[in-house]
C-alpha cells in the first residue's frame, strides 16, 4: 500500500470500505518511515509497539460497529518537544537523551482518543530554538524538496516527515514561527492556532507566553481535522481557552467572494524577488476569486525581532533552569560537588544556541536592565498586538510571505545568529499577538524551492483562516 500520499479522508474511506485495516496501514507506514528516514533524519524514534496497539484498537472498534474517531488509523508524527508516556522525549537536546516522560501531553492523548496512530517522535531544534533544525543534538534534518537544504525550524522534522510522506500529519510547536516557517520551506500546510486554543499541557516549555502546539499536514482539510481534535479547553492548562471549538472543516466550504484581505506593506520589504513573485501570484489568485485586496500598515513590525528575542530569551532562561542534573536530565559524571553538578551538567548538556539564550535572557531580566529591556519589550508587544487589532477593523484577513527567502543551504547561516533570526521576521509578529496564522503552499521558486503564503486572522477566527486557505488551495494555489 502506498502510504506516502494518503489523506485523512482517504484513510477513513479505505478503513470503512475494508480496503485495508488500521493494522495493515500502520505496518506499511512504519516500514515506509523506516526505509525513507535516512534521507531526512526526520524521525528520532519510531514507536512500532504503540502504533500497532492503537491500530488494533481502531480495528476492534470498526469490527464492533463503533465509531473509531475522526483520526482513525492516521499515522501521526509528534515533535519531540511534546511528551509521550513511556516514549523517550529529547527536545533535540543531549540533556534529555534518556528522558522518558511519565505522562502524555493533552494533544497526544486527544489524537489517540480520536483513533490516531502515533508513529514516532520527530527531530527539532534543541528546545525549539532555531530556524533550520541545525540546533538538534541528534543531527540536522534534510529538506525533502532539496536534500542539501534545511527544512526550516524548529519543527523541521515535522515538516519534513509530512512532506516526505512518512507521516500523514504531525504536531509541531510554534513560539515565533516554528510551524509556519518549516511548513513553507517544505511545501506543506502549517497552522499556529490562537494562543490558548490548544492545551500546552505536556509541551516542554520554551517561552510560555508564546508557545503553541499546532498541526502540519499536506492539505488544508487534514490540518483542519487535526486542529479540531486537539483544540479546546483543558483543565491541565490554565491558559487554555474556554471558547467552544468551531467546525473548521465546515468553514472551508464558505465562499470567499467579498472577503477583505490586507497586505501589510512592511512585509513586502526585504524579501527575495522569487518569493515576492510567488506571493504576488497568490494574491492575484485571491483577487480573481473575488476577494477585495487592500494595502494596510502594521507600523511596529520593525521592532518585532528585537522584542521577541528579549521576551523569549527571558522566559527561556527561567524555563530552562529546571535542567540541573537532579531530575529529567543526564548528569555530568565529572562533578564532585553540588555546584559542579549544576554547572557541568548544563555546560556539557546544552548546545550553543540554548546557552546564548539563557545568557541573554538572564541579562535582560537582571536588576537594572529589567525596565530597560524586558518591560520595554512587553510594551512593544502590546503595540504590535494593537497594530493587528487596528488592521482587523478594516480587513478580515492578512496575507503575507512566511519567510523572506526559501529554504537555505545546510550550514549557510549557522555562524550568523542574526541572519538566522531574520528568517522569522514575518512570523514573529503573529506569535507575539497570539492570533491564528498559517502557512499554505504557494508554488515554488525558479529553483523548485517551495514558497509559503501566510494567512492571519483575528483571535479565534480559525474558521476565517481555513476558509481562505481552503479556497486558495482549491483554486490552484499549490501549483502556481
Residue 183 CB, nearest approach to ligand GLN (Å): 12
Q: Residue 172's closest CA among 69, 251, 82, 283?
A: 82
Shortest Å, Cβ 166 to ligand GLN: 22
Contact string 276-315 vs ligand GLN (x = CB under 6 A): ------------------------------------x---
Neighbours of 18 (CB within 10 A): 9
Which CB, 10 or 419, lies closer to ligand GLN? 419
Listed residue (315, 313, 348, 354) closest to 329, CA to CA: 348
Contact status: 156 vs ligand GLN (CB under 6 A): no
169-174, strands of its sheet edge to edge: 43-46, 117-122, 75-79, 169-174, 212-217, 189-192, 437-444, 450-456, 397-401, 260-264, 292-296
Residue 20 or 426: the one with the smaller Cβ distance to ligand GLN is 426
Contact 76, 119 (CB under 8 A): yes
The one-character DSSP state at 374 is I
In the complex, what is the shortest distance from the CB of residue 458 to ligand GLN, in angstroms, rounded to a whole number? 21
Residue numbers 93-132 binding ligand GLN by CB under 6 A: 128-131
- 178 near ligand GLN (CB under 6 A): yes
Torsions phi, psi for 231 (to 5 deg)? -75, 160
- The C-alpha cell 499556529 sits at 192
Q: How far apart are CA 415 and CA 244, in angstroms?
A: 45
- Comparing CB distances to ligand GLN, the nearer of 129 and 256 is 129
Listed ranges 83-91, 168-176, 358-366, 408-416: which one lies at the site for ligand GLN (CB under 6 A): 168-176
Using CB under 6 A, which residues numbered 129 to 148 contact ligand GLN? 129-131
154 in catalytic set:
yes
Nearest CB to ligand GLN, comparing residues 41 and 154: 154
The residue nearest ligand GLN at its CB is 178
Contacts of 152 (CB under 8 A, 6+ apart): 131, 132, 133, 143, 159, 181, 182, 183, 184, 185, 186, 403, 407, 423
Name which position in 14, 120, 165, 176 contacts ligand GLN (CB under 6 A).
176
- Indicate the Cα dihedral angle 67, 69, 75, 76, nearest 10°: -160
Q: Which is nearer to ligand GLN, 32 or 308 (CB)?
A: 308
Site for ligand GLN in 192-211 (CB under 6 A): 206
Number of residues counted as binding ligand GLN (CB under 6 A): 13
What string marks each residue from 311 to 350 as x (binds ligand GLN by CB under 6 A) or -? -x--------------------------------------
Residues 6 or more apart whose CB falls under 8 angstroms from that of 431 comprise 174, 175, 176, 177, 192, 210, 212, 308, 437
Lay out the site mask for ligand GLN across 377-406 (x = CB under 6 A, - = otherwise): ------------------------------
List the catalytic residue out of 21, 131, 178, 199: 178
Q: Which three cell numbers stand for residue 157?
A: 522534522
Answer whether 144's CB lies under 8 Å from 39's CB.
Answer: yes
Q: Of 130 and 361, which CB lies nearer to ligand GLN in the complex structure? A: 130
**CB 457 within 8 Å of CB 409:** no
Clarify whether 178 is annotated catalytic: yes
Active site (catalytic) residues:
79, 154, 178
Footprint of ligand GLN (CB under 6 A) = 128-131, 154, 174-178, 206, 312, 424
Amino acid at each position: 500500500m502506498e502510504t506516502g500520499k494518503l489523506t485523512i479522508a482517504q484513510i477513513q474511506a479505505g478503513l470503512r470500505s475494508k480496503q485495508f485495516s488500521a493494522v495493515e496501514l500502520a505496518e506499511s507506514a512504519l516500514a515506509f518511515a523506516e526505509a525513507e528516514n535516512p534521507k531526512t533524519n526526520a524521525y528520532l524514534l519510531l514507536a512500532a509497539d504503540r502504533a500497532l496497539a492503537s491500530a488494533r484498537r481502531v480495528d476492534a472498534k470498526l469490527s464492533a460497529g463503533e465509531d473509531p474517531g475522526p483520526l482513525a488509523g492516521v499515522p501521526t508524527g509528534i515533535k519531540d518537544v511534546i511528551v509521550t508516556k513511556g516514549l523517550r522525549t529529547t527536545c533535540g537536546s543531549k540533556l534529555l537523551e534518556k528522558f522518558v516522560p511519565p505522562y502524555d501531553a493533552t494533544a497526544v492523548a486527544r489524537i489517540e482518543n480520536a483513533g490516531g496512530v502515533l508513529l514516532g517522535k520527530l527531530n527539532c531544534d534543541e528546545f525549539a530554538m532555531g530556524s533550520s533544525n541545525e540546533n538538534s543534538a541528534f543531527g540536522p534534518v534534510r529538506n525533502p524538496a532539496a536534500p542539501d537544504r534545511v527544512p526550516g525550524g524548529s519543527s523541521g522534522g515535522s515538516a519534513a516527515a509530512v512532506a516526505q510522506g512518512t507521516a500523514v500529519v504531525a504536531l509541531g510547536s510554534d513560539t515565533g514561527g516554528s510551524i509556519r516557517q518549516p511548513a513553507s520551506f517544505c511545501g506543506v500546510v502549517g497552522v499556529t492556532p490562537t494562543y490558548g486554543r490548544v492545551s500546552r499541557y505536556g509541551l516542554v516549555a520554551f517561552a510560555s507566553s508564546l508557545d503553541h502546539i499546532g498541526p502540519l499536514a499536506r492539505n488544508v482539510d487534514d490540518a483542519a481535522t487535526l486542529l479540531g481534535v486537539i483544540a479546546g479547553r483543558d483543565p491541565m492548562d490554565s491558559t487554555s481557552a474556554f471558547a467552544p471549538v468551531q467546525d473548521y472543516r465546515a468553514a472551508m466550504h464558505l465562499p470567499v467572494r467579498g472577503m477583505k484581505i490586507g497586505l501589510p506593506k512592511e512585509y513586502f520589504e526585504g524579501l527575495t524577488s522569487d518569493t515576492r513573485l510567488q506571493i504576488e501570484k497568490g494574491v492575484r489568485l485571491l483577487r480573481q476569486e473575488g476577494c477585495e485586496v487592500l494595502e494596510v500598515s502594521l507600523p511596529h513590525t520593525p521592532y518585532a525581532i528585537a522584542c521577541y528575542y528579549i521576551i523569549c530569551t527571558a522566559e527561556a532562561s527561567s524555563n530552562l533552569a529546571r535542567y540541573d542534573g537532579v531530575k529529567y536530565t543526564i548528569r555530568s559524571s565529572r562533578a564532585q560537588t553540588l555546584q559542579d553538578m549544576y554547572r557541568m551538567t548544563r555546560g556539557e548538556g546544552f548546545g550553543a544556541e540554548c546557552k546564548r539564550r539563557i545568557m541573554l535572557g538572564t541579562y535582560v531580566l537582571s536588576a537594572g536592565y529589567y525596565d530597560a529591556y524586558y518591560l520595554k519589550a512587553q510594551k512593544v508587544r502590546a503595540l504590535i498586538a494593537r497594530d493587528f487589532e487596528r488592521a482587523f477593523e478594516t480587513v478580515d484577513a492578512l496575507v503575507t510571505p512566511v519567510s523572506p527567502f526559501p529554504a537555505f543551504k545546510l550550514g549557510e547561516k549557522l555562524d550568523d545568529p542574526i541572519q538566522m533570526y531574520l528568517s522569522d521576521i514575518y512570523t514573529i509578529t503573529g506569535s507575539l499577538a497570539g492570533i491564528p496564522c498559517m502557512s499554505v503552499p504557494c508554488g515554488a521558486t525558479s529553483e523548485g524551492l517551495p514558497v509559503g503564503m501566510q494567512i492571519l486572522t483575528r483571535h479565534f477566527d480559525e474558521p476565517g483562516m481555513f476558509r481562505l486557505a481552503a479556497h486558495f488551495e482549491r483554486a490552484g494555489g499549490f501549483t502556481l
